[in-house]
Amino acid sequence: MSDTQPRLHLHDSRTRSTVPFVPLAPDNVRVYYCGPTVYDLAHIGNLRAMLTADVLVRLLRHLYPRVTYVRNITDVDDKINARAHANGESIADLTARTIHDFHADLAAVSILPPDVEPRATHHIGEMQDMIARLIESGHAYEAEGHVLFAVGTYPSYGALSGRTPDDLIAGARVEVAPYKRAPGDFVLWKPSDDQTPGWDSPWGRGRPGWHIECSAMSQRYLGESFDIHGGGSDLLFPHHENERAQSMCCHPHGHFANHWVHNAMLLVNGEKMSKSLGNFLTVRDVLRDTPAEALRLLLLRAQYRSVLNFTREGLNEARQMLDRFYRALENLDPVQDPVPAPDSVVQVLCDDLNTPRALAEMHALADMAMTGDSLAAARLKAAGNLLGLLQDTPEAWFRGGAKVDPARIEGLIAERLAARKARDFARADEIRNDLAAQGIVLEDGPQGTTWRQA
């Protein structure tokens, strides 16, 4: 990061304040995000967390020479076991298909892949090593085939989520089990029967608890201390609280995550998304009739810590905004060399990823580009690249969703032109109206007639 670049400020969930981001090693910023538990298609709430990570990592890569971004996959979990059994398929087939679908859905929305994407089942050894260290240091104990973390041995438990121990117990769905020493103690290892995935261990055949997975994988690829840990606010407690506790107890001389970033939840039509309300939407549900960039832009219109209300009206507005941006890019000089992201856009993104203000800056650039300013158009394109937007050409954007043969449209345009020359205006209007009914808009200009998707 040069002295002339703006300083990045991020809201830190642990301190509950927005602070300057100071990397542990400026030559390699290290970021960990919790990825999917692979038993079903990603929903738009999942997408918001992945998009927040994507914008953050894009900005960090603009500011720093190297970023190592790790996003895990949880492929051992009781939900996976139950779904595979219900489907009558193997766990391997379920997880392989779901991982493929997850990658495809994120790629459609221009979310870049992480540098490392570890799978939990490939790191059982590291998890067992951490569990053994926690037992040895007195922070964990064995009980009836389980290994549990003893919350009372870590005085700072609750500091991340800002809750007292009593609040934590009252606000959590604590599993009542007679083998626990305290109600808040959580599972590090649990036994598996013959029908459940399991691995041999010093504590018997079993499988890991959810929280230990991320601690082991982040330590393996980023070390005992790294810069940023992120995810949705629903993970703050208990998942991230438990991660932090076991990692700090296992590596008491490290910091684990130096900075915590959590995005707010997403509503659908003003209500919490749930299958019981009939408003549960997967990414694929939305992309069936919506351009992927419109979905991405809708999510960027709210700052990541603000609750976002997803509506079809909002999607339409996002699509209209993109129409305007792509219209502005029509003035981009085809021989214009790429330019860096505008300082005005970088500056507002450095203010805790203020994407609404970044979009406002893009509108200002579009205003200038529409007057014929090709440099402003180039800067608009560069701003879009930083936000993962404007990845198409204007021609592809306006015509890519058409359901008819482009050659047929061009033929009808030629027929309409001939009708107008013959002063057969009724036929010319009929062609325009028929195409409009198919979602194709004709635009007459000095250079002739062009078409685009409505």
Q: Side chain identity at 325, as an amino acid letter?
A: F
Instruction: Delimit the domains of the chain by residue range.
Output: 9-138+153-164+210-267, 289-398, 406-453
Predicted pLDDT at 408: 81
Is 213 known to sit in a ligand binding site?
A: no
Render each residue's pLDDT in the chain as its tens digit; 454 residues: 555 678 999 999 999 999 999 999 999 999 999 999 999 999 999 999 999 999 999 999 999 999 999 999 999 999 999 999 999 999 999 999 999 999 999 999 999 999 999 999 999 999 999 999 999 999 999 999 999 999 999 999 999 999 866 665 554 555 678 899 999 999 999 999 998 999 999 999 999 999 999 999 999 999 999 999 999 999 999 999 999 999 999 999 999 999 999 999 999 999 999 878 888 999 999 999 999 999 999 999 999 999 999 999 999 999 999 999 999 999 888 878 889 999 999 999 999 999 999 999 999 999 999 999 999 999 999 999 999 999 999 988 988 654 556 778 888 888 898 888 889 888 888 888 888 877 788 878 776 787 776 6
Predicted pLDDT at 334: 80
Assess if CATH 3.30.360.10 describes domain 9-138+153-164+210-267: no
Handedness of CA 97, 98, 103, 104 (dihedral sign): positive
CA end-to-end span of the chain: 43
Is 243 known to sit in a ligand binding site?
A: yes
Same fold, 9-138+153-164+210-267 and 289-398: no
Predicted pLDDT at 175: 65
Predicted pLDDT at 278: 83
Is 123 known to sit in a ligand binding site?
A: no
Is 259 known to sit in a ligand binding site?
A: no
Is 136 known to sit in a ligand binding site?
A: no
pTM, entire model = 0.88
In whole angstroms, what is the distance from residue 2 CA to residue 195 CA? 56
Predicted pLDDT at 414: 84
**Residue 272 CB partners (closer than 8 Å, separation 6+):** 265
CATH number of 289-398, picked from 3.40.50, 1.20.120, 1.10.3470, 1.10.10 = 1.20.120
Predicted pLDDT at 213: 97
